[in-house]
Each structure stands twice: as structure tokens, then as C-alpha cells.
A and B are shown apart, each in its own frame.
Chain A
Amino acid sequence: MMSALPEYRTRILLQRENVPLVSGVFMKPGEDIPLDIPEMPIFLKAQIPGATSRKSHGLVRRVDTYEELEENLDVLLSPGKWGQAEGVLITEGLDIETEYYAGCMLDFGTGDKLPGGVLLFSTEGGSGVEERSGSLLKLRFSLLHPPVTEEIETELREFKDLKECKAVAEFLEGMISTYIRYKLIVLEVNPLGLLKDGTVAAVDCRAEFENNAVSKRDREIFFPPEIGSSKNLTRLEEIVELINRDDPSGTGFFRQNREMPPEDALRVATNLCGGGGKMLWEMTTGSRTDIFTMNESDTSGGLSAFKSYRILRVILAQKEARVLLLTGSGMAFQNQHHLAAAVWKALKESPSPLPSLLRFGGTDEDKAQALFEEVSDSLPVPVRTYPPEVFPNAMVDDIMEIASLEIETGNEYVPPSGEPAIIVERPPGKIYFYPEKWTGDESPPSVKACPTGFLQWHNGELCTDPDARCIGCLMCETASLMEGTCELIIHLEMPEEVD
């Protein structure tokens, strides 16, 4: 996932690498005007990640008096069509002699060309620089052995009229160093100003980065805690983030479709495991206007059944969804019997279960199919299961029919009573045990079904093996329910109310 870094935070990165900047101060909403603002005239720049062409959108303003400063700060710090600014950067109005452009980006390479970085430089600053290819230097560089000032200076000599070549080369070296140190995807300085005194400084800058490339020590710059989530997540997506926080096993990806559904389109909630699964579904439905995919989701890579259940509860909570389409893992990372147990539990316990098309493929796919053959009739919604060789393109043929079937309403989940016998911390879950429902001498079905030996039965009592761990597979509860003994129930709390 890529995110944008606004100017004031990009400046922190450049500053750390000693890259010269025009002087400026940052002011957050609600703060007093800083005492150390530069001398007038000054520029006010609203700080909104990802906002481009800020000048033409009125997000950059020149101010010559204190009255104008107060008036414009009010406007820029109020929510506008770009949303709420993180604050305003107040920079000095410099006497710039010439404006240049500088940027760094990645070249991902091809079959016969190694990937690397690319330095872009133009003697003309301002917007639309990419189109002015005649004046644009594109210098490929190694991320492993980046160029030093002298090498950059040699390349810059092709610009006959470039002034202060060495100072510019030094600036660009610092910029490349910043780009590499913080593993940025894009770093732009536009304009890069050549000042009357012969020095250069970044007048404006911005960056883009991969969330997964941010190191722990830099998190506060990239994800300032006081700003909260800048990812523009929906409420349900926020809940999945919390599910992932509490149970990091495997992949738990969920994004809702922001597009407007075509009128009368059937809204389908999906749980497609893996990136390939998403592509298969898109290939099947991408050209259809009668089907609207409500979300993307990828639950794969060995996640616990507890987590599958929780994400399914989120998927099922999407308003106006008519059908659930789930394809189990491409093959086998996630035990399909465990997945089926999670699906069964979610359809039973969600207040808004959906008619479901379910495909299981991989380890214990037969047990997954068998489980649904036994329990389908007891569910409040119609369910159809498919073997792995039936791909989504064939499953979709049944989608209209299953959507038209009647479903029971008023599904109400009652949490288990009493105190939990065992609380599992990771993956989080509460195990309730009812000894009165099991009077046999040998281990009850729930204990026998535990694949890791975490649940034990000693002297007629449930206990746990401290050297084994609960993997959140739901096999204990499934066995207890399937055998009809019902001695063990698992309660999986959601991090927030979903329904």
C-alpha cells in the first residue's frame, strides 16, 4: 500500500540528510500563530497528503501582512473540498533567481535491464516538467552504489546554462541519499530554488512511500499518532485493521468498493483468498453490469479460523449485500476444514447472514464439504458448496438463482453463559466448557478434536498443556456440536460492533 507524505513531513526527511530547505515553521490546527514565523512576505501552504496543483486550488497563498496571515490561516485550516489539512506550513518568501526541478523515482527494470533508481532534473521548475523532455535529465542510478556529487556534476554539464553546478549536484546527492534511506517511491523537489546568493534550497517538496517500507524508528514521521488514520478507511475496514492488530496470523485484507453500483446490480460480498483469486473473480465479472462486487478481501497464508470468522463477520455486515461468494485458498495453506468451521460459525452468528456460494480446495477439502453437507439445512440461508476444480466463472452461473431464494430473518446470536474456562490470548478467543454436558470417563469430543494437544482431559476435568498452543482452528467447538454433546463453545468477540 502506498501513501503520500505532505511537504512539512517530507522536509523532516530532507533536513535529516542535510539537504538545504527554505526556512519555515509548521502550525497545527488549533495552535497559536508561531512566534518564529519568517519575515513578510511569507507563503502559507495547506498540508494535505496527496494534494497536487496546490497553488491553483488555493492551497498555497502569499501573505504580506499580519491581518492577511490570520484571515488566510482561518481558511486553510478549515475543512475544504480536499478535506481537513494536517496544518499549515509557513515559509519565507525568497528572492529566487532561477527555479529548477528535481525528482527521484524507481525503475522496476525489464527482462534485460536491471532495476534501479532514476534521478530527474530539469532547469525549468514548475508543473508539467515531465512533458518538457528536451530539458529533462534522466539519470539512472544504483540503489546499492548511488552516485556521488562529482558523478552527478559530470552529468549536469549537459546543461550549458546551469549555474552553480556543484551546489546543485551536492543538493541532488543529498536528495538521492534521502530517497534511499527512507525507501521512498517518489521524492520531488519542485521548485528547487537557486537563490541570489548562489545557494540552492528546496522551496517545495513531496514524497510517496510504501507503508511496509517504513522502519520502526521513523514511524512517527510517516504515521504521526496525533493525526490518526490517514488511510481513508471505512468503518468496516478500520475493524479489519483491528482484527489484524489482535491476530497477525496470515493475510487479512479487506477493502470496500468505493464506486457507485449500477442500478439494479446484484451486490455480492466476496471472500476471495489470494491475489490470484481476485483476478479470477474480476475476469469473471469485470464486464458485467448486473453484478457489483462490494469488496475485495484476501484471507490466505495460514491465518487462524478465529480470524477467518471475524473477517467474515465484517464481510457479512455490508449493507445491501445479497450474496456471499467465498473461494477457499488456492490450494492448501489454510486447512479447509478449519475454514469451513469458521464459515459455518459466521453464518450462524451473524445477524445478517447471506445466501452463500462456497468453494473449498486444499487440505481437508473433503471434510469441509462433508461438514456443510451435514449443517446446510440448519442454516438460515441457502448454501451451495463447490469442489476446487469449479472456478468462480462457473460458480457465478448460480449466483442469480441463490440470490432469489428466501432467507430467514432475525438471526440472533446469544453469547455463551457463565465464565470462560480458558482465555486464549493469541489468536484471541474465549473457550466455555459445560462439564454437566459430558459425563463420560474418556475425553470429550472437543478435546479429542484438538489437533495440537492444547486441550487436555485429566481426572475428568478440562485443562491445557502449557507446552502446546491453541491455533484457533475451531475444531473443538465443531466436534462438540457435530457430536451433539455441546460441551464446549467458543466465543469470539469482535474488536468493535460490526452489525
Chain B
Amino acid sequence: MPGIVKYLAGVDTPETLVFGITGRQGKSKSHLMRKFGTHIIAGCTPGKGGQEVDGVPVFNSAAEAVQSFPQLNTAVFFVPAGAVKKAAMDAMDAGLKFLVLTADGVPSHDEIVLKEYASTKDSVYLGPNTVGLLDTEGYLFGLIGGSATWAKKNYKPGKVGVISRSGGLSQLLGAFHCRPNLPGIREDGSYGPLWGEDYPGLSAVVCVGGDPVPGISMLDAAEAFEKDTRTEIIAAYGETGTTQENDLAAAVTDGRITKPIVIFLGGKFTKAGVAQSHAGAMIRNDSETWEAKNRALLNAGITVVERPDAVFGAILSELNS
């Protein structure tokens, strides 16, 4: 069974290059990813070509890595925010199809340039400012789970696809759909276990990141889940800023997305023009307000909940209906 990256980037079997693998975070997260099952076959740090990190060969550039390992098709970046643009463009030039940009604080100019550059290439990217992607087929890119043991214990195969603009909520929404006897608000308003041992489970978690110019948008992720036969329903976290939720609502209205969606929409009290800890949550115009998004989502028939712990009960209701 192909994982969600097949539908995001046309990649059946991800073969991965890690940028910044010689750094502290690159090293530790590579260990996490490999232990979870991700195929990491090369690393890249300019000036450190020829070294090895836990048996993984390191190259000076993406082009050099691809020359030695032509099967490379995916890259995860643990590089400083200021270096993301160049590194990602090099990876696209080298023909890598799916990139995961984890760094927080990438300048808006760099994000805009990357978006334009990617539109001319056969590449897509997740982030920046993302915890990454986890697929229960057995791979993860980025930081999800913190440790492989924890990730394997908490993310189990099933029918829910998760899309989120927040790292923490990506992980919560994913893990709690895999937790037996999860307590929550039932349909009758009472509080107690929503399900027994037969939790709904997860197909994949896609964190689109908290920045104003995401590579893969919420709609792109929803379109991938639409094609993914494992996924029966989508659980999402959206918030103010950008037009991602509005675009998602429009796609549901015109029938491009047919699978049910439950979304927790944050930012009800966010003031326009005020910077948020998610750079992308800042409201820049009327269509980016909580009210406008809530209206658009409801009009499209999407279930919007105002409490994060109401997502799970709503998912259960949708699955039972």
C-alpha cells in the first residue's frame, strides 16, 4: 500500500536524503526517523562530504548525493532558517520530489521565492515550520513523535487522516485517534470513553506548518487524503491567517473533496494585524478572520468544533453516520 507521499508528490517508496545530518538535531532526528522505518540513504552538509553519520554517507551537495544514489526522491531539512531557501532550491535542482522543511523563522521573502521556484519544478515541499509527516505505512519525516518508540506506540494504522497547521496539534490529533478508551465528549453530551479497544486509527499526519506561505497547503493535503483509500475521514486543525481553510471549503463545495472533514478552528479571539507565535496566523485581510473561515467551512458542510477535545467525538459521530 503506498503511503500519503504517493498522492502528495508521486513518490511510491520514499528514499531519503537528510540535509544537516551532521548537526545535533539532524543526527538525532535521523536516528528517530530510521528507527521508525524511514529509508535514509544519504546525508548532506556542505563541507562535510566524505564523512559518515551512523553509517549514512554524507555529501557536500544534493547533486553529489543523487549522483551516488539515483533512487533518492525525498529530502528532510534540519538546517538553519536562513539556509533553507538555498538548500531547498539545490534539492529541487537535483530532482528530489518531496521536501520537508522543518525550520522555524524562514524569512517571508525566502518562502515566497521557494513557492515560485517550486512551481517551475517537479517538486513539492512541506513547511516551512513543520514537525513533518508521519505515515502509518512505516515512515516519518521530521520530528513527529519525539522518539521512535513513542511514535510506534501512539500512531497506529487506521482510517483518519490528520491535517494541521500546528506541530503540537498534529501530534495530538494523530495520537488520540489511536488511543484505546480515549475519554471525551460523547454525542449525548456526557463525558467518558468514546470508544473501547477499537480506536479509529490513523492513515497519516500531515503538518502543513505555521507559516504564511506553506508549500503543501491544507487543500493539497486534503486532496491527497481524498485519493488515499485508507483514509475515510479527515481531522484538521486550522486557524486565522492565510486562505487555506477558505480554499478547503471551496473545494468541498465544488465536490473536489468528498470525504467528511472535522476541523477545530483556532484563533476566535485573534486580533487583526497582530503578530502571532505562528507567523501564518496573523490576520492580513477580512477573509483571513476566524469568522470568515468559520462561515466558509460551515457553508461547505464541514463540521467545525470550537474545542479541541470535541474533534474525537465528532469524528466518531461522522464515522457512525
* Chain A residues proximal to chain B, CB less than 8 Å: 1-2, 106, 108-112, 114-117, 142-144, 180, 183, 185, 210, 212-213, 215, 251, 253, 273-280, 282-283, 286-287, 296, 298, 300-302, 329-335, 361-363, 388-391, 393-394
Q: How far is the CA of A192 from the CA of B265 in the complex (A)?
A: 44
Residue of B nearest to A249 (CB): B24
- In contact, A300 and B167 (Cβ under 8 angstroms): yes
Q: How far is the CA of A329 from the CA of B171 in the complex (A)?
A: 10
- In contact, B217 and A274 (Cβ under 8 angstroms): no
A114 CB contacts on chain B under 8 angstroms = 115-116, 119
- Shortest C-beta distance, A290 to chain B (Å), equals 15
- In contact, B237 and A276 (Cβ under 8 angstroms): yes
B151 CB contacts on chain A under 8 angstroms = 332
- In contact, B212 and A296 (Cβ under 8 angstroms): no
Nearest 6 A-B pairs (CB), nearest first?
Answer: A330-B168, A332-B146, A276-B166, A286-B269, A279-B266, A331-B171
Q: How far is the CA of A210 from the CA of B110 in the complex (A)?
A: 12
What 8 additional pairs, Cβ within 8 angstroms, besides A183-B108, A275-B167?
A: A210-B107, A274-B168, A274-B277, A276-B165, A282-B270, A333-B143, A362-B171, A363-B150
Does B113 lie at the interface of the complex (its beta carbon under 8 Å from any beta carbon of A)? yes
Does B13 lie at the interface of the complex (its beta carbon under 8 Å from any beta carbon of A)? no
- In contact, A279 and B166 (Cβ under 8 angstroms): yes
- Shortest C-beta distance, B208 to chain A (Å), equals 12
A117 CB contacts on chain B under 8 angstroms = 112
Q: How far is the CA of A83 from the CA of B97 in the complex (A)?
A: 52
Q: Which one of A213, A276, A278, A362 contacts B109 once the chains associate, using CB atoms below 8 Å?
A: A213
- Shortest C-beta distance, A345 to chain B (Å), equals 22
- In contact, B275 and A330 (Cβ under 8 angstroms): no
A to B CB contacts below 8 Å, 18 in the list: A108-B212, A110-B243, A111-B246, A112-B247, A142-B116, A183-B108, A212-B82, A274-B166, A276-B278, A280-B308, A282-B268, A298-B277, A330-B166, A330-B167, A332-B147, A333-B143, A363-B146, A391-B307
Q: How far is the CA of A279 from the CA of B267 in the complex (A)?
A: 6
- In contact, B150 and A362 (Cβ under 8 angstroms): yes
A1 CB contacts on chain B under 8 angstroms = 275
Known: A282-B268, A283-B306, A286-B269. A389 touches B147 (CB 8 A): no
B212 CB contacts on chain A under 8 angstroms = 108
B169 CB contacts on chain A under 8 angstroms = 274, 276, 280, 330
1/0 per residue B164-203: CB within 8 Å of A? 1111111110011001001110000000000000000000
- In contact, A116 and B307 (Cβ under 8 angstroms): no
1/0 per residue B255-287: CB within 8 Å of A? 000000000001111100001111001001000
Q: Which one of A253, A283, A302, A329 contacts B268 once the chains associate, using CB atoms below 8 Å?
A: A283
- Shortest C-beta distance, A353 to chain B (Å), equals 26
Does B299 lie at the interface of the complex (its beta carbon under 8 Å from any beta carbon of A)? no
- Shortest C-beta distance, B224 to chain A (Å), equals 15
Residue of A nearest to B267 (CB): A279
B116 CB contacts on chain A under 8 angstroms = 114-116, 142-144
Does B210 lie at the interface of the complex (its beta carbon under 8 Å from any beta carbon of A)? yes
Question: Which B79-137 residues have C-beta < 8 A from chain A?
Answer: 81-82, 104-113, 115-117, 119, 131
A212 CB contacts on chain B under 8 angstroms = 81-82, 105-107
- In contact, A111 and B109 (Cβ under 8 angstroms): no
A112 CB contacts on chain B under 8 angstroms = 247
Residue of B nearest to A179 (CB): B109
Q: How far is the CA of A276 from the CA of B280 in the complex (A)?
A: 12
- In contact, B308 and A2 (Cβ under 8 angstroms): no
- In contact, A286 and B110 (Cβ under 8 angstroms): no
B105 CB contacts on chain A under 8 angstroms = 212
Q: How far is the CA of A183 from the CA of B108 in the complex (A)?
A: 8
* Chain B residues proximal to chain A, CB less than 8 Å: 25, 81-82, 104-113, 115-117, 119, 131, 143-147, 150-151, 154, 164-172, 175-176, 179, 182-184, 210, 212-213, 217, 219, 237, 239, 242-244, 246-247, 250, 266-270, 275-278, 281, 284, 306-309
Residue of B nearest to A279 (CB): B266
B268 CB contacts on chain A under 8 angstroms = 282-283, 286-287
- In contact, A331 and B269 (Cβ under 8 angstroms): no
- Shortest C-beta distance, B47 to chain A (Å), equals 18
Known: A282-B267, A389-B184. A108 touches B171 (CB 8 A): no
- Shortest C-beta distance, A338 to chain B (Å), equals 11
Residue of A nearest to B311 (CB): A391
- Shortest C-beta distance, A258 to chain B (Å), equals 11
- In contact, A111 and B243 (Cβ under 8 angstroms): yes
B306 CB contacts on chain A under 8 angstroms = 283
Q: Which one of A180, A275, A331, A390 contacts B146 once the chains associate, using CB atoms below 8 Å?
A: A331
Q: Which one of B119, B213, B266 contacts A282 once the chains associate, using CB atoms below 8 Å?
A: B266
- Shortest C-beta distance, B88 to chain A (Å), equals 13
Residue of A nearest to B266 (CB): A279
- Shortest C-beta distance, A147 to chain B (Å), equals 14
Q: Which one of A109, A332, A361, A388 contacts B145 once the chains associate, using CB atoms below 8 Å?
A: A332
- Shortest C-beta distance, A451 to chain B (Å), equals 12
Q: How far is the CA of A273 from the CA of B113 in the complex (A)?
A: 30
B309 CB contacts on chain A under 8 angstroms = 389-391, 393-394
- In contact, B112 and A143 (Cβ under 8 angstroms): yes
A300 CB contacts on chain B under 8 angstroms = 167-168
Q: How far is the CA of A338 from the CA of B65 in the complex (A)?
A: 37
- In contact, A275 and B278 (Cβ under 8 angstroms): yes
Residue of B nearest to A145 (CB): B116
- In contact, A111 and B168 (Cβ under 8 angstroms): no
- In contact, A115 and B107 (Cβ under 8 angstroms): no
Known: A144-B116, A330-B170. A276 touches B143 (CB 8 A): no
Known: A2-B275, A110-B247, A142-B116. A273 touches B168 (CB 8 A): yes
Known: A298-B277, A363-B150, A389-B184. A215 touches B82 (CB 8 A): yes
A298 CB contacts on chain B under 8 angstroms = 277
- In contact, A278 and B108 (Cβ under 8 angstroms): no
- Shortest C-beta distance, A10 to chain B (Å), equals 17
- Shortest C-beta distance, B31 to chain A (Å), equals 13
- In contact, A330 and B307 (Cβ under 8 angstroms): no
